[in-house]
Structure formats: C-alpha cells, structure tokens
Chain A
C-alpha cells in the first residue's frame, strides 16, 4: 500500500513539474533579446517542396547572409529539387558575400501526398524522431546554430515545431519560430497554419482577409 502511495505521489509530483514547465515555456515565448548590429544569428528554414520552397527561399533571399549565419535548410527526404534550389540561392548570394556557411539536413515526410490518414502514425513518428535528433544536435553546438526557425508548411512543419518544443521543455537552446502563411492563401488559413498558429512565436499572413480568422496573425502585404 505504501509502495502504491509512493508511486502515486511520484506521478503527481512529476506531472506537476511537467505542467509548470509547459506553462513556463508558454509564458517565456514572448520575450525578445536585443542584439548588436555586428552579432550573427543562426537561421533554420524548412523547404516544404513546390510552392512552399519557392516562397521560403524568396523570403530567405532578402536577408543579410553575413548576419543570418550559419543557415540550415531542412528538406524532406527525396526532395532533390528543393536542395538544388537552396544550393543555387547560396551560390548566388556568395558571389556578393564571398562566404557560404550552410548545411542541408533531411527529414522523413510526416505524411506523403495521398497517403491514407490511418497509416500516418508510424511515418509521423519517424519524422518526429529525426527532427528531435537534429534539434538537440543543433542546441548542443558551442554556438547556437538555430536562433530563428522559419516555417511555411506543409505537414512536416509540425514535427519540427514539436522537436523545438521538446528542446524548450528540456531547457536546451531553442529557436524562435516564425510562420509565414503562403501567398496562395487568400481567404483561409492552410491546415498546417491553423494547427501551428497557437504554438509559433509569430504568425504572418499575406492577404488581409486571412487576418479576420482572429488570433495573433499579422499582415504586412505580399512578402514574396
């Protein structure tokens, strides 16, 4: 009986710590630290193939690569076209900056196009495990390599976001998360946008009508 009560106490204590930790993470999310103009900032961006990749790379192309350095491109397994486009962007930018400090990492897709919904749990898990591995690896580097994470869909974003939250839970370094809804979403959010909006640090849409879905979305016109 006393064993049972000890176990119960332990479970209750553990759950309380977890809940407090999660509450703390959500509260902490909004503070911003000042950086000097000469500081660098590690950037990670997910290239979700097709239009997602085109838009994400257009956004990244606008940045000062000596400031947003190093850069990590997260790509779905087998998406060679996105990898090629990332290489091309880096080559274009390095002509001007004379330096190119980036890596491409691959993660399994959370769900392939047309994959039946009921078969998703194992693929989601495989995708999640790889993302967690990468996120922890990034956090354990001497200099943080992921200070900001840019997402714009689709599904695999969710695994990456979850991995970042695990880092936060464990007290490891974790990036701020910025979600930019696609320019193609004129009147309603995408499924990944709707799912991720409560969890990202900043959520930006590119059409004013989408703002009306409420929440903490922001609109600055067309960014791509």
Chain B
C-alpha cells in the first residue's frame, strides 16, 4: 500500500519531520504500507531519504508537481495539510484522508473545515502530535463517501437569479 503526504504550497516542517520519523515509519509499515511519497513544498527536508527504504517503507520525496491528481489516485491513504481544494479533490476520489492542521498558522478556519468533515465521517482531522492515533483511526473507521460534485444546484440558482426560470 502507498501513502502520500502533501503540504501543497505551504511550509509545514513539523509534518514533514513527523512522517520521516522512525516511530511513524514503523507504524506505517505495521499498517501494511510499503511506500511513502512526500510532496514537501516549501518545507525543510531534513533527512536525505530520497529513494531509501527505511523500516520497511520505501520513501520518495519531491517538492512540487503541476498536478497532484495522479498521486492521489495512486495512494491508498493521503495525509494532507488543511487546504480546502485538496480536501475536496481527495474526498471525491474516495480516498482515505487524514487532514493535519498547521497550528503555527494564525487563521484556523481551515481547521474548522477538517473538523466539520471529520464529524460527518468523511475523514480524520488530526494534529501533528496525534498523527500516530490518526493512522490507527483511519485504518479502522468506516469512511462515509463524500457526495460527488453536483453543478446543477448552482446552475439552477443562477438561472433563477437571471430570470430564466
């Protein structure tokens, strides 16, 4: 199984450090993961772990790609920063998702989105320090599928607003 960690365009050193830690890699391995792909963006990559296998997990790390869609598709689990675009895209691909809020950012409204969607059973909302527990929760929980994009609602609102209906 493959896990994909993404920080988008943000700098999120704590998350990158944590997923590269011995403890986390051991837990990943214990949960059946053999491959960890890390998109680290502007974060610092402290370990030169490109292509290495550590604690039974092969690690691949890179900064950016124009589109992450293929990575989401290839992954069995996505661990992401709390960007709403990422959250929607991953949920619509019916992937297991752990959202880790960056608590060093002052604006915490993105944490609210992750928490609300977690309450509805679509994902697990976590902090960096509770990531090991989140890994256990996501493995055992029954994920509620997120409804697919339905553009007809907005089309109807606009048609009504503009006098077509």
Chain A residues proximal to chain B, CB less than 8 Å: 32-35, 37, 39, 41, 50-51, 54-55, 58-59, 61-64, 67-68, 147-148, 176, 178, 180, 182-188, 190, 201-202, 204, 207, 220-224
Q: Which residue of A lies closest to B82 (CB)?
A: A184
CA distance A105 to B57 in the complex (A): 48
Q: Is B84 at the interface (CB under 8 A from chain A)? A: yes
Residues of chain A within 8 A (CB-CB) of B110 are 184
Secondary structure of the B side of the interface?
Answer: helix
Instruction: Determine how close the nearest CB of chain A comes to the CB of B161; give it in whole angstroms.
Output: 6
What residue in chain B is nearest A41 (Cβ atoms)?
A: B162
Q: Mark B142-158, 1 if CB is under 8 A from A, else 0.
A: 00000101011111011
Cross-chain contact B153 with A221 (CB below 8 angstroms)? yes
Whether B164 and A62, one on each chain, are in contact in the complex, defined by CB atoms closer than 8 angstroms, is no
Q: Provided the pairs A148-B161, A176-B162, A202-B161 are in contact, do residues A54 and B155 lie with their beta carbons within 8 angstroms?
A: no
Interface residues of B in 115-165 (CB under 8 A from A): 115-116, 147, 149, 151-155, 157-159, 161-164
- Cα distance A178–B110 in the bound complex, in angstroms: 23
Task: Give the distance in Å from the alpha carbon of A55 to the alpha carbon of B151 in the complex.
Answer: 11
> Is B56 positioned at the interface, with any CB of A under 8 Å from its CB?
no
B: residues with CB less than 8 A from A are 83-85, 88, 109-110, 112-113, 115-116, 147, 149, 151-155, 157-159, 161-164
Q: How far is the CA of A182 from the CA of B85 in the complex (A)?
A: 11
With contacts A34-B163, A61-B151 taken as known, whether A148 is within 8 angstroms of B158 at the C-beta atoms is: yes
Q: Which of B83, B116, B152 contacts A62 (CB 8 A)?
A: B152
Within the complex, the shortest CB–CB distance from B75 to chain A, in Å, comes to: 20
Task: Report yes or no: A176 in contact with B161, Cβ–Cβ below 8 A.
Answer: yes
Tell me the smallest distance from the CB of B101 to a CB of chain A, in Å: 12
22 contacts between A and B (CB under 8 A): A33-B163, A35-B162, A35-B163, A55-B84, A62-B155, A63-B151, A63-B154, A63-B158, A64-B155, A67-B159, A67-B164, A68-B158, A148-B158, A178-B161, A183-B88, A183-B113, A201-B161, A207-B116, A221-B153, A222-B147, A223-B153, A224-B149
